[in-house]
Amino acid sequence: MRHGKKFNHLGRKVAHRKAMLSNMAISLIMHKRIKTTVAKAKALRVYVEPLITKSKEDSTHSRRVVFSYLQNKHAVSELFREISPKIADRPGGYTRILKIGNRLGDNAEMCMIELVDYNENMLTEKKTKDKSTRKRRRGGSKTVKETAAVETVENTTEEVKEEVEVKETVKEEKPVEEKKVEAKETVEEEKPVEEKKVEAKEMVKEEKPVEEKKVEAKEVVKEEKPVEEKKAKVKEVVKEEKPVEEKKEEQKEEKTNKKEDKE
């Protein structure tokens, strides 16, 4: 019976399971991050972390022990040369499991298992969080009420300081209003431009004699009306020339008279 044995066989026999975990450990050491199921990742973490701890002591014996598990000289040299200096100060917990959802085919729970010291994004986030922490003094002999009162006093002092800083910034921003006043003064100084506009209007008024010239031109046109009178005279001349027709009639009458005389 296997009562109390917390050991995941992963549905494989011993040889198959060891070979699989060895290959996964080699991939993790070489690539620093692999994608697998959560069950395999948890089994791999138990398998590979003791090997990483063994790599802290770079000796022939430790190299031979690690090689007996991995059976890959490139992975062993990578572990002892590159990874062990980075994890020298870390007391365990060399890997991290990040769940990424379920697989489409069999709906298995998937994850990413990676070496902690090779994820630069997580390391930078930790550094920024460490910088933003606040340190407060706490006395060992103080009661809970006293500590709460001290914390409230510190919070109030911090709020007062923030208010004072805000007021100082407001005072410093007053010169902006002075700048506005200066801008208004400059606008007032620019009023002579309006005076220039008034002068321009006066110039336009002075140019009104042009309209007078137009009136004079109209008068000239009126003076030229005698041309119409000339036309009337021409018409009268035409009327006077009507006797020419009478002359023609007289000539016709003479011709008729002559014909009668011949007859």
Of 158 and 94, the structure prediction assigns the larger pLDDT to: 94
Rg (CA), the chain: 57
Delimit the domains of the chain by residue range.
Answer: 14-131, 215-254
**Residue 22's pLDDT band (cuts 50, 70, 90):** very high
**Residue 165's pLDDT band (cuts 50, 70, 90):** confident
Please answer whether residues 40 and 19 qualify as being in contact, where contact means their C-beta atoms are separated by less than 8 angstroms. Answer: no
**Residue 197's pLDDT band (cuts 50, 70, 90):** low
Give the pLDDT confidence score for residue 253 in this predicted structure: 82
Average pLDDT value for residue range 49-63: 96
Of 73 and 216, the structure prediction assigns the larger pLDDT to: 73
How far apart CA 14 and CA 2 sit, in angstroms, is: 16
Give the pLDDT confidence score for residue 66 in this predicted structure: 97
Average pLDDT value for residue range 42-51: 96
**Residue 207's pLDDT band (cuts 50, 70, 90):** low
CB count, 10 Å around CB of 216?
A: 11
Please give the order of strands across the beta sheet that includes 33-37.
33-37, 109-115, 95-102
Report the range of poorest mean pLDDT among 102-116, 118-132, 211-225: 211-225
**Residue 118's pLDDT band (cuts 50, 70, 90):** very high
Q: What are the DSSP calls for 63-78, one per residue?
A: HHHHHHHH--HHHHHH
CB count, 10 Å around CB of 196?
A: 10
**Residue 246's pLDDT band (cuts 50, 70, 90):** confident
H-helix or E-strand spanning residue 46: helix 38-54
Tokens 């009306």 found at: 225
Give the pLDDT confidence score for residue 192 in this predicted structure: 58
Q: Residue 57 gets which letter from DSSP?
A: S
What does residue 114 show for φ and ψ, rounded to 5 degrees? -140, 165
- What is the percent of the chain where pLDDT is above 90? 43
H-helix or E-strand spanning residue 189: helix 175-189
For 73-217, strand residue ranges (E) read: 95-102, 109-115
- Taking 70 as the threshold, does the pLDDT of residue 204 lie above it? no
3-state secondary structure of 33: strand
What does residue 225 show for φ and ψ, rounded to 5 degrees? -60, -30
Average pLDDT value for residue range 100-104: 96
**Average model confidence (pLDDT) across the chain:** 78
CATH assignment, 14-131:
3.90.1030.10
CB count, 10 Å around CB of 160?
A: 10
Average pLDDT value for residue range 136-156: 62
